[in-house]
Amino acid sequence: MNANGTQSLSARVREFIDHRVIPVEHAVETDPQILVKLRRAAREAGVFAPSAPTEYGGLGLSMLGQTDVLEEAGRSLPGPLVLNCAAPDEGNMTLLEHVATPAQREQYLRPLAAGDVRSAFAMTEPAPGAGSDPTALATSAVRDGDDWVIDGQKWFITGADGAGFFIVMARTGADAATMFLVDAGNPGLTVGRHIPTIDAGFTGGHCEVTLERCRVRSSAVLGEVDRGFANAQVRLGPARLTHCMRWLGVARRAHEIMLGYVVDRELFGSRLADLGLAQHLIADNEIDLAASRALIRTAAVALDQGSRANQETSIAKTFVSEAVGRVVDRSVQLCGAQGVSHDLPLARFLAEVRPFRIYDGASEAHRWAVARRAVRRYEAARPGKRSHD
Ligand SMILES: Cc1cc2nc3c(=O)[nH]c(=O)nc-3n(C[C@H](O)[C@H](O)[C@H](O)COP(=O)(O)OP(=O)(O)OC[C@H]3O[C@@H](n4cnc5c(N)ncnc54)[C@H](O)[C@@H]3O)c2cc1C
C-alpha cells in the first residue's frame, strides 16, 4: 500500500475508533458479543487485521505503513483488539509469517489473522529462569523418538487464558533454545493463576503456565531446532515497535482529553490553557509525542529495509515507553481532580502504560544494550585500538 493509501486507511481507522469503538469502549471489555459485532464492522470498514499478510486476509502493511494506523487504533484501549492488531497476537502473526512452515501457517496463522483464535508467547519464567536475561531459560525440551517432551514453568504469559495455542520457548542444548507450537488442548499444558497486575486491558490476563511432560510432535517445532533465540528476534524487534505505536495512541488520546479540559477551564482570570506553567506541561507533551513518533518511524524504516534494527527499536522502545507515561501523567495533572477520577479514562491509562517500561525489555536492559552497541561501534571505527574488555 502506498503513502496515500495508508493515509486514507489511518483516517478511516480514526473515524472507526471515534465513532464505533470509543462510545462503547467500557462495554467491549465486559460483553464478548459487542466485540464480535465490532469486529464484523471493522471487516466491513476494511480496517481489520492491518498487520497480517494479505494472503491470510490481512491488510499486509509494512512497519512504516502500520505506524499511523496502529497509533489510531491505540487511541481506545480495546481498539487494537477490535482491529485484531493487539499484543500478543499481532507479534505472533509476524513470527508465524516469517518462521513457520506453510502447513503451520495454514493451521495457526490463518485462524489467528481471521480473529478466530487468540494466542500466547511463553518465554518468561519465575527466578532463576528467563526474564531480562533469556539465556537463563530453565524450561527444557527433550527428544523422545519422533516427539519432544517439554517441562517447565512460565509466568506473566499474556492472553494465556483462552488462547488457542502457545509459542513456547524451551532449552534444547547448553546454549540453544527452540520454539514450539503447543495447542491449548495438550494435556501437558496447564494455564494457572491470573497474576493480578496494575493493568487490566489484555484479554486472557497475564497467567502462570505449567508444562509437565508436555508431548508434541516434531512438526510442532517453529523454525529450526536450536535456533529459538535467533528466530525470536524476528518477533521481538517488530513487536516492541508495534507496542510503541499502540501506546502512543493512548498517550495522544490522553493529551487530547487534557486539551479539551484546559481550553474550557477558567482559573485566576484566565483560561488554564493560557497560564505559563500549564503551557509548559502542554508543550512537553507535544515534544514527547512528536519525538516518540519520529523514533518509531526511524525504526520502522530500518525494519522495512531488512535490518534487525536492534539499536533503533531499543532506542524507540525505551524512549516511547517512558514518554507515554510522562504524557499521560501530565494530562492527569492538568485535569485536576477529574484526572485521577474514573469519570475520565486518564487514571486507567496511567495504570495501563506503566508495565510497558518492563515488558518487551525493561528500560535498563535496553539502555545497557544501547550503550554496549555504541561503545562497540566506536571501537570498531578506531582501527588498531583494542577494547578494554
Ligand atoms: C504486563 C506484563 C505482560 C507480560 N507478558 C509476557 C508474555 O506474554 N510473555 C512472556 O514471555 N513474558 C511476558 N512478560 C514478562 C516480561 O517480559 C518480563 O517481566 C521482563 O522481561 C523482565 O523480566 P523479569 O520480570 O524476570 O525481571 P528481571 O529480569 O528480574 O529484571 C528486574 C529488573 O532488573 C533491571 N534490569 C534488567 N536488565 C538490567 C541491566 N542489564 N542492567 C541493570 N538493570 C537491569 C530492570 O529494572 C528490570 O525491571 C510480561 C510482563 C508484564 C509485566
Q: CB burial class (10 A; 0-12, 13-18, 19+) of residue 143?
A: exposed
The response to whether residue 42 sits with its C-beta less than 6 Å from ligand 1 reads no
Rounded to whole angstroms, how far apart are CA atoms 168 and 179? Answer: 5
What is the DSSP code string of 34-47? HHHHHHHHHHHTT-
The response to whether residue 132 sits with its C-beta less than 6 Å from ligand 1 reads yes
Our CA angle for 266, 271, 277, nearest 5°, is 115
Is the CB of residue 293 less than 8 Å from the CB of residue 234? no
Is the CB of residue 241 less than 8 Å from the CB of residue 170? no
Contacts of 118 (CB under 8 A, 6+ apart): 89, 112, 159, 162, 163, 164, 203, 204
According to DSSP, the β-strands at 176-183 and 266-267 are unpaired
Q: Which residue of 359, 363, 366, 367 sits with most ligand 1 atoms within 8 Å of its CB, as the best mutation to test the pocket?
A: 359
Kindly state the cell numbers that stand for 16.
472507526
State pLDDT tens for residues 73-82. 999 999 999 9
- How large is the greatest C-alpha to C-alpha distance in the chain, in angstroms? 80
| pLDDT reported for residue 388 | 55
Residue owning the nearest CA to atom 32 of ligand 1: 132
| pLDDT reported for residue 29 | 86
Rounded to whole angstroms, how far apart are CA atoms 244 and 358? Answer: 13
The response to whether residue 131 sits with its C-beta less than 6 Å from ligand 1 reads yes
Which of 259, 255, 325, 320 has the alpha carbon at shortest distance from 294? 320
The response to whether residue 91 sits with its C-beta less than 6 Å from ligand 1 reads no
The end-to-end CA distance of the chain, in Å, is 47
Helix (H) or strand (E) holding 252: helix 228-264
The response to whether residue 156 sits with its C-beta less than 6 Å from ligand 1 reads yes
List the domains of the chain with CATH numbers.
3-114 (1.10.540.10), 119-222 (2.40.110.10), 229-380 (1.20.140.10)
Is the CB of residue 171 less than 8 Å from the CB of residue 147? no
State pLDDT tens for residues 44-56. 999 999 999 999 9
Strand partners, 92: none
Cα–ligand 1 centroid distance for 361 (angstroms):
6
Q: What are phi and psi of 180, to 5 degrees?
A: -125, 145
Contacts of 151 (CB under 8 A, 6+ apart): 139, 140, 142, 211, 212, 213, 214
Cα–ligand 1 centroid distance for 202 (angstroms):
17
| pLDDT reported for residue 158 | 98
The response to whether residue 166 sits with its C-beta less than 6 Å from ligand 1 reads no
| pLDDT reported for residue 49 | 98
Residue matched to cell numbers 513470527: 95
Cα–ligand 1 centroid distance for 358 (angstroms):
5
Per-residue pLDDT of the chain in tens (389 residues, 90 and over written 9): 777 777 899 999 999 999 999 999 999 988 989 999 999 999 999 999 999 999 999 999 999 999 999 999 999 999 999 999 999 999 999 999 999 999 999 999 999 999 999 999 999 999 999 999 999 999 999 999 999 999 999 999 999 999 999 999 999 999 999 999 999 999 999 999 999 999 998 999 999 999 999 999 999 999 999 999 999 999 999 999 999 999 999 999 999 999 999 999 999 999 999 999 999 999 999 999 999 999 999 999 999 999 999 999 999 999 999 999 999 999 999 999 999 999 999 999 999 999 999 999 999 999 999 999 999 999 999 877 655 55
The response to whether residue 48 sits with its C-beta less than 6 Å from ligand 1 reads no
Kindly state the cell numbers that stand for 130.
528467563
| pLDDT reported for residue 146 | 94
- How far does Cα 375 stand from its chain's mean position? 29
Kindly state the cell numbers that stand for 189.
499444558
Cα–ligand 1 centroid distance for 178 (angstroms):
20
